[in-house]
Amino acid sequence: MTDTKQHVALLFGGDSSEHDVSKRSAHNIFDAMDKEKYDVSLFLITKDGIILDDAASHRVFAGEKEEDVATEVASQLDIANPLAPILNLESTKKIDVFFPIIHGNLGEDGTIQGLLRLLKKPYVGSGVQASGLAYDKDFTKKILTATGVRNTKYVLVTPQNVSDWSYARISEKLASKILFIKPSRQGSSIGIHKVENEAEYEAGMQDALRYDTKVLVEEAIEGPEEVEISILGNEHPQASKIGAIKVPDSDAFYTYDNKFVDASAVEFTIPVELPEAVSNEVTQMALDAYQALELKGMARIDFLVSEDLTPYLSEINTLPGFTNISLYPQLWEASGISYPELIDRLIDLAQDEFERQAQILHDFKPLEAKDQKKVYKAK
């Protein structure tokens, strides 16, 4: 390793339903990274929550069965030690930047960000609070509505109130015969159902509640076109061109299989031709949402554009996919930023945000006890 190289660690895997997608994203990022510029370590988090070290993670990358490698590593752990699953991170002292690419919980909900903050290491992407808020669709929509960013109307269903919300009641409240059921804290279209009657609603709700204790039931938008935009940056983010997705007529929406298994039947239009006013509105709504949630590094933001060309913000993904068919890097390619350059920028943004936060802590000087008393008396 030369002094000019940065040491970057890829964190991937995790215990969510998007485990395998995360592994494919990590593969692509690893392959695209300039090895003349970076030394790259791998940390695969198994489905059981054990962090494999660089050597074991490389074995999985090379084709060994993850289950076999994970079993071997687990057998060497002191299970009486509660820190055992994360002890392989002891080598982090030599790592300059972490690049988490863990989709779903652990990665997008603020968990891994909290760990990296404790380790006092720069990391790609949003912080603890912003990640947690953006991962929760309910909280996200509340913030978007409060800041004037248009999004779909919905009803929040939980195990406590599920008996109060029938299909008929929600359909009447939202003025929509077609409803979409979505777990509030889940990604990659897992647990999502399009329903049009009571039987479909009950089955879809039962499935969605398997994944989360908060479930959104959203109105349907008339004849929607699904479009996506990529955002890059910290305090002054920039937006990519806009892309469109058309799923097969047999699918009600952009499914997990469409996204990550077989996209051969999906039509991607990058960039998509929209009226200039609509494109400008989508771009501004995306930037407004990104800043309202105080996101950092990157996000892919999805919209539904209705038949009358009204855009509605649908979802925000703070650690979007980097697989061969993922739209986040494709949209930047179409906007003039290559895959390797995109990775460079994300790493630079991670270090910039780390330094900014460190400066804030350095400049903060708490009041002395005697001065605090003066403040309280003044109130």
3-state SS record for the chain: CCCCCEEEEEEEECCCCCHHHHHHHHHHHHHHCCCCCEEEEEEEECCCCCECCHHHHHHHHCCCCHHHHHHHHHHCCCCCCCCHHHHHHHHHHHCCEEEECCCCCCCCCCHHHHHHHHCCCCECCCCHHHHHHHHCHHHHHHHHHHCCCCECCEEEECCCCHHHCCHHHHHHHHCCCCEEEEECCCCCCCCCEEECCHHHHHHHHHHHCCCCCCEEEEECCCCCEEEEEEEEECCCCEEEEEEEEECCCCCCCCCHHHHHHCCCCCEEECCCCCCHHHHHHHHHHHHHHHHHCCCCEEEEEEEEECCCCCEEEEEEECCCCCCCCCHHHHHHHHCCCCHHHHHHHHHHHHHHHHHHHHHHHHHCCCCCHHHHHHHHHHC
Structure token digits, residue 215: 């479930």
> Is-above-0.75 flag for pTM?
yes
CA gap 83, 361 in Å, rounded: 28
Give the pLDDT confidence score for residue 246 in this predicted structure.
86
Give the pLDDT confidence score for residue 261 in this predicted structure.
47
Is residue 328 within 8 Å of 298, Cβ to Cβ?
Answer: yes
CA gap 47, 130 in Å, rounded: 25
Give the pLDDT confidence score for residue 78 in this predicted structure.
87
Give the pLDDT confidence score for residue 94 in this predicted structure.
87
Is residue 332 within 8 Å of 261, Cβ to Cβ?
Answer: no
Give the pLDDT confidence score for residue 375 in this predicted structure.
46
Closest CA to 294 of 235, 361, 347: 235
**Residue 271: is the preceding peptide bond cis (ω within 30°)?**
yes
Give the pLDDT confidence score for residue 188 in this predicted structure.
57
b/e 12-34 (16+ beta carbons within 10 angstroms → b): bbbbbbbbebbbbbbbbbbeebe
- Domains of the chain in start order, with CATH, are 6-124 (3.40.50.20), 153-219 (3.30.1490.20), 225-337 (3.30.470.20)
Mean pLDDT by 10 residues, the chain (379 residues): 80 90 95 95 94 94 95 89 86 88 92 94 97 97 98 98 97 97 84 96 97 96 94 98 80 48 72 96 98 98 96 96 92 96 98 93 65 51
Give the pLDDT confidence score for residue 2 in this predicted structure.
46
Closest CA to 29 of 131, 89, 100: 100
Give the pLDDT confidence score for residue 79 in this predicted structure.
80
